[in-house]
A = this chain, B = another copy of it.
Amino acid sequence: MATLADVARRAGVSPATASRIINGSPKPVTDALRERVLAAVAELEYVPNAHAQLLARSNRSAVGVIVHDVSDPYFAEITRGIQRVATEHNRLVIICNSYRDPGRELEYVELLRAHQAAAIVLAGSGYHQPEFTTAMDSKLRVYQRTGGRVAVIGRHEHAGDAVMPANEVGGYLLGNELYRLGHRDFGVIAGPKLLTTTTDRLTGLRRAAHEHGHKLPARRICYADFEREGGAASAAALLDAEPQLTAIVALNDTMAIGVLALLRSRGIAVPDQMTVVGFDDMPVARDVTPALTTVRLPLADMGARAMELALQPPADAEERRVEDAGAELIRRESSGPPRQT
């Protein structure tokens, strides 16, 4: 691997001059030298060692993103927004998948700190695990104390600026819609109990129930894993235990699709015999049959805003900025009035 010294030697100049030419430093350099150096760079196929540069300059330029899993469309969408903004600002993005493992998230914060990341965007649901939350909190604080910027998506519990997805509002919109349509008996397929996303969405649903003078009985709530098969299995369990249900709320689209598959296999027509609604408005939601009624979250936008917050200098006061992202009910074909029994 050719080094700057090699280039300088070959061009017959000092490393200082070579460095200045290669990096376009403001210091003026004769054209003759410039050409010789650039020629040497080309001949030696020289590429500066990024680590050495980062060490010498000691300025931080990369940014880190910690998500559950980029392959998941939900995070893919968020990441797309993050990437866009980062690229605009000429920042390299380091993506870390935690696969919903809190321990791994902590490790990644450390790793990003070690790599001198200028900012960390932490996306994905928080965990109802006080010891983890505390640990994460202190790690993030340490990171900020050493000059790092933090923006979280969701995770109101942590330090740093935040973009808040409208999980509670979304749940409310969904519940409201069901009551409006006339449903009284509906089951809920929630995500993992441990995730704040799950509980936030449930809270919204409960608020809607409450406003309509109802409650969500615990026996009509199933906790699954946000995956298609989990949705299908929970729907089966729910239907067997509570035959009078007229609607099923899945707290994300992936599970809702599992629900649709199960209903199809049982020959239950949607929405005539059963209403199904999802959450997130993943792209596939409109392509399944019947197209899914769901709640849209501006995911890419949320990612972009989080990245923007993270790239801005910290708020003047020691205060954190919190931006709320909206939620929008998308009515499609999977919802309708309850069947006549």
Contacts and interface: CB of A to CB of B under 8 A. Distances in A.
Interface stretch (A11-19, A27-35, A77-85): A77-85
Interface stretch (A41-49, A154-162, A172-180, A312-320): A41-49
B50 A115 contact: yes
B114 A49 contact: yes
A256 to B, nearest CB: 10
A111 interface: yes
A209 interface: no
Interface in A60-98: 69-73, 76-77, 79-80, 83, 92-95, 97
A228 B284 CA distance: 11
Interface in A225-262: 228, 257, 260-261
Contacts of A287: 228, 257, 260-261, 284, 287-288
Contacts of A284: 284, 287-288
Interface string A190-214: 0000000000000000000000000
Interface of A: 1-2, 45, 47-52, 54-55, 69-73, 76-77, 79-80, 83, 92-95, 97, 110-111, 113-116, 142, 145-147, 228, 257, 260-261, 283-284, 286-289
